[in-house]
Amino acid sequence: MQLKVAIFGASGYSGVEATRILAGHASFELTLATSDRWEGELLEARLGHLGGAGALRYAAHPADGAGAALAAKGCAAALLCTPAETSLELAPALVAAGIQVVDLSGAFRLRDAAVFAAAYRLTQDAPAAALQAEAVYGMPELGADTRASIAKARLVANPGCYPTAAALALAPLFEAGLLAEEPIVVDAASGTTGAGRKATEEMSFSEVADEFRAYRVLRHQHTPEIAQTLAGAARRAVPLTFTPHLLPVRRGILATAYARLAPGRTPAELKAALLHKYAGEPFVQLAGSPDQVSLRAVVGTNQVQIAVDCGGAALGPGSDPNRVVVISAIDNLLKGAAGQAIQNLNLMCGLPESQGLLALRPV
C-alpha cells in the first residue's frame, strides 16, 4: 500500500524534481501538488510523462496553515518546497494534523533563533519556535545517531545545498580531529537554478552567460548553517569564511574547502577518515584526487563526490606542506534539495533510504 504524499510549492525547481522522483517511487503516491503559477494544469502538461501521477492537476497554494492541513488531509507526509516565511506558517499546522513534514527551506535548520533572524531576516512565532527545538537536521550521512533521529522525526529540516556540499566534505575530518583549530575557508560555485525560479535581470541569460562572479560575500544565509554543522562534528566552534559564486550552468555545485592539518597528524589519515566514514554509503563517491571531482559525475543524481589532498612541499618554499584541500560536487537540486528530501522521507516512513533514488543517472 502506497503512502500518500503532498508537495507544497511544486512548480519551483526543487518541487519539480521532487515531483518527478515521487511519481516513480514504489512506496509513495503523490496526491497533492500546489502551485499558484500552474493551478489547474495537468502535471504531465508541465513535466512530461509521469505515469499515473501525470493525471493529477496542480492545486492552488493554500492561504495559511489551516488550509494546508485541510488540503493534505489523508496524506502521511508533505514536502515543503516553499520559502522560509511560508514554511514557518505551514509546518506547525501540518505537524499538528499528524502529517510528517520535510521542509526544504531554511526555516528550521538553525538552532539559535537570533542567528536565524539575522540570516533570514525573519522571526519565528510561538508554534514555529516550538517546532524549531524539535526539528531534526536531515543529513543522514552524518552518522547513525542522525539517521535514528530522522526516523523518529515529525519534522525534518532538509539541509541547504551549499551546506550539504561543504559539510559532507569536511565533517569526517573534523570528527577525526585531523584539522587544526584555525579558521577554514569554503569557496563554492553553483549553477543558476540555485537562485530559484524567478525572473530578474541579473539572472537572465545575457547577464549570466560567459560570466563567473561571487555574490552575497560575507553575508550568505548558509554561512551559519555550515558553521553549525561543522561545529557539531568538531565539538567546538569552527571559524568560517564562506564565499558563494555563480556558475554559468543550470545546475550543480563544486565546493572547495581549505584547512590545515592538525599537529601530529599525517596526510594519509585524511583519506582514511573519509573511507571509514563513508564505507557503504550509497550516495557518496570518493574520487582518487581532487582533480577528478566534477559536476558531470553527479548532476542528475543524488550523489556527492569528494576527494582530499594535503601537502605540496615538493613545489618549493612557497608551498604549504600542511595545507588541506577538500573538493566536493553535488547536484544542487537533488542531493542539495529534492533528492536528499526523499532520502529523509524514506527514513521517516521506515523505508529503505535509497528507494526511488538509485535509478537517477548523470545527465
Active site residue 161: yes
C-alpha distance across the termini of the chain, in Å: 32
Name 336's Cβ contacts closer than 8 Å, sequence gap at least 6: 159, 160, 161, 162, 164, 165, 194, 253, 330
Q: DSSP label at 42?
A: B
Q: Provide, for the chain, the percentages of residues in helix, strand and coil under a 3-state DSSP scheme, each rounded to the nearest 5.
A: 40, 20, 40
Candidates 73, 116, 112, 64; CA nearest to 92 is 64
Number of C-beta neighbours around residue 160 at 10 A: 25
CA pair distance 30, 28, nearest whole angstrom: 6
Q: For residues 211-242, b (16+ Cβ closer than 10 Å) or e, as one string? A: eeeeeeeeebbbbbbbbbbbbbbbeeebebeb
Distance CA 331, CA 350 (A): 25
Which residue in the block uniquely carries the three cell numbers 599537529?
263
Query: CA-to-CA distance for 101 and 117, rounded, in angstroms?
Result: 22
Give phi and psi for 179, each to the nearest 5: -110, 140
* Gap between the Cα atoms of 155 and 153, Å rounded: 5
**All cell numbers assigned to 292:** 577528478
Catalytic residue among 75, 161, 310, 349: 161
Task: Burial-class residue 204 by CB neighbours within 10 Å (0-12, 13-18, 19+).
Answer: exposed
- Asked if 209 and 248 count as a contact pair (C-beta separation under 8 A), the reply is yes
Cell of 111: 538552532
The per-residue b/e assignment along 145-154, b for 16 or more CB within 10 angstroms, e otherwise, is ebbebbbebb
Residues annotated as part of the active site: 161
